[in-house]
């Protein structure tokens, strides 16, 4: 793809046209490479978001590192561990005035007046479950923008799985225990603490069908931002819709043809529950 150059001002104008307004709480999932060539680098793209959100708005990004003990990754350090979910996110958490949680698998970064409320306190919640930063975004009336990526990169879908109390979330990645384990420091360079994770978000490959399904439900608007396709939605509407869809079909997000081991194990678990019948969950 030839990457057409785009300026901070042009990006801001396109974000405004997509419906982003001053004062919003906004979560962004992005592929910078899909947007085109951002003049001024990733910093300029982040500043374009902040231009549109204004001083009363709060920008939120995932900075996930997936530092699970079972995957032999070192303990999470909020001042050192890189984000593994995109260049924009890895630049964002390092910028002045940006807060970052110390969650070892699913840390978030945020800047703006709501950032302390969205990110503050101990990381004693399930990674993308109730009480987590992504849930606090929903409760704050937040929005989600997917740029150059689909719903298989939309963390709020995992929140909806948690809100729907999907039993398969209890199946851990770690095959030696009935939970997952991760280690983290609460401040840069600090000592490591242990965290047990009981409802770890799984593979999101099955979320791809939501790109069509949610557009049909009318809760997502589609836009062009630079050269990328973008999808914009309200977090609460998204969760409400997915909870309903999961009520109709609990296997919706666990495709039978999945190549992922965790999805196959979670699907088998759901099938074993169904075989036992409703009185013996
Ligand atoms: C994995 C993923 C990040 C890859 O997207 P990507 O566009 O290839 O990578 P990044 O967003 O990290 O951007 C890096 C790219 O931007 C390019 N880049 C660097 N400076 C740039 C600039 N000024 N303007 C545009 N692109 C630039 C880099 O060269 C790199 O491209 P390359 O790999 O072809 O060399 C993306 O597909 C994705 O999944 N994003 C969402 C992640 C997420 O939110 N996950 C949470 C739920 S699981």
Rounded Cα–Cα distance for residues 15 and 108 (Å): 22
Residues 9-39 pLDDT 10s: 999 999 999 999 999 999 999 999 999 999 9
Closest residue by CA, ligand 1 atom 34: 33
Residues with CB under 6 A from ligand 1: 29-35, 37-38, 41, 62, 64, 85-88, 149, 153, 155, 204
pLDDT > 90: what percent of the chain? 95
Tokens read off for 146: 């997917």
Burial (0-12, 13-18, 19+ Cβ within 10 Å), 1? exposed
Per-residue model confidence (pLDDT) at position 193 = 97
pLDDT at 198 over 90: yes
Q: Is 228 helix (H, G, I), strand (E, B) or coil?
A: strand
* Bigger pLDDT: 72 vs 278: 72
pLDDT at 280 over 60: no
Q: Is 25 helix (H, G, I), strand (E, B) or coil?
A: strand
Per-residue model confidence (pLDDT) at position 259 = 85
Cα–ligand 1 centroid distance for 42 (angstroms)? 10
Question: In terms of Cα–Cα distance, which of 174, 112, 162 is closest to 140?
Answer: 112
Q: Which atom of ligand 1 is nearest to the CA of 158?
A: 47
Q: Cβ contacts of residue 157 below 8 Å, gap of 6+?
A: 151, 204, 207, 210, 238, 242, 253
Cα–ligand 1 centroid distance for 243 (angstroms)? 30
**Bridge partners, 37 (sequence order):** 5
Q: What is the pTM of this model?
A: 0.96
Cα–ligand 1 centroid distance for 31 (angstroms)? 4
Residues 125-134 have a mean pLDDT of: 98
pLDDT at 1 over 70: no
Cα–ligand 1 centroid distance for 185 (angstroms)? 27
User: What's the mean pLDDT when you consider all of the chain?
Assistant: 96
Cα–ligand 1 centroid distance for 84 (angstroms)? 10
């Amino acid at each position: 793809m030839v990457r057409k150059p785009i300026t901070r001002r042009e990006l801001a104008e396109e974000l405004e046209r997509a419906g982003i307004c001053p004062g919003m709480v906004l979560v962004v999932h992005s592929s910078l490479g899909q947007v085109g060539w951002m003049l001024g680098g990733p910093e300029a793209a982040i500043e374009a978001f902040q231009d549109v959100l204004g001083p009363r708005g709060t920008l939120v990004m995932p900075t996930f590192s997936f530092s699970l003990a079972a995957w032999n990754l070192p303990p999470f350090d909020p001042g050192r561990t890189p984000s593994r979910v995109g260049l924009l996110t890895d630049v964002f958490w390092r910028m002045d005035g940006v807060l970052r949680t110390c969650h070892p698998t699913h840390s978030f970064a945020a800047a703006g007046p709501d950032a302390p409320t969205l990110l503050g306190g101990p990381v004693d919640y399930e990674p993308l479950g109730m009480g987590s930063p992504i849930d606090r975004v929903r409760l704050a009336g937040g929005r989600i923008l997917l740029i150059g990526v689909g719903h298989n990169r939309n963390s709020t879908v995992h929140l909806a799985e948690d809100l729907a109390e999907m039993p398969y979330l209890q199946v851990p990645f770690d095959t030696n225990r009935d939970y997952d384990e991760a280690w983290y420091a609460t401040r840069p360079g600090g000592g490591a603490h242990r965290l047990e994770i009981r409802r770890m978000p799984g593979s999101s490959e099955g979320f791809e069908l939501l790109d069509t399904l949610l557009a049909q439900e009318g809760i997502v608007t589609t836009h062009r931002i630079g050269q990328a396709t973008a999808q914009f939605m309200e977090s609460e509407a998204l969760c409400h819709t997915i909870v309903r869809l999961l009520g109709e079909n609990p296997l919706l997000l666990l495709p039978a043809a999945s190549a992922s081991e965790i999805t196959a194990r979670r699907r088998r678990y759901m099938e074993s529950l169904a075989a036992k019948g409703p009185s013996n969950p």
